[in-house]
């Protein structure tokens, strides 16, 4: 995968993660607890899959890891 493609995919993944987080929050605040638990668990699974994709991209291009996701004291 070319770096520019990886960078764009990484950005789209970050956006999707933000949207999934917003959906989970909305569900938590607007659905009954049992239903919310089931739905949020599925959203969590989706987020885990996206993290795996992002991790593989970051392994190939560590310089595109967003600064806020880098460990302290990393360059």
Q: pLDDT, tens digit, for every residue of 40-50?
A: 999 999 999 99
C-alpha to C-alpha distance for 12 and 8, rounded to whole angstroms: 6
Q: What is the pLDDT of residue 4?
A: 96
**Predicted local distance difference test score (pLDDT) of residue 37:** 97
Q: Which helix (H) or strand (E) holds 53?
A: helix 33-60
pTM: 0.83
Q: What pLDDT score does 75 carry?
A: 58
Q: Which residues of the chain have pLDDT under 50?
A: none
């Amino acid at each position: 995968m070319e770096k520019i493609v990886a960078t764009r995919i990484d950005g789209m993944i970050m956006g999707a993660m933000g949207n999934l987080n917003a959906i989970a929050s909305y569900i938590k605040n607007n659905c009954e607890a049992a239903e919310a638990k089931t739905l949020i668990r599925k959203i969590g699974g989706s987020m885990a899959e996206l993290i795996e994709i992002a991790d593989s991209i970051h392994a190939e291009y560590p310089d595109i890891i967003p600064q806020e996701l880098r460990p302290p004291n990393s360059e």
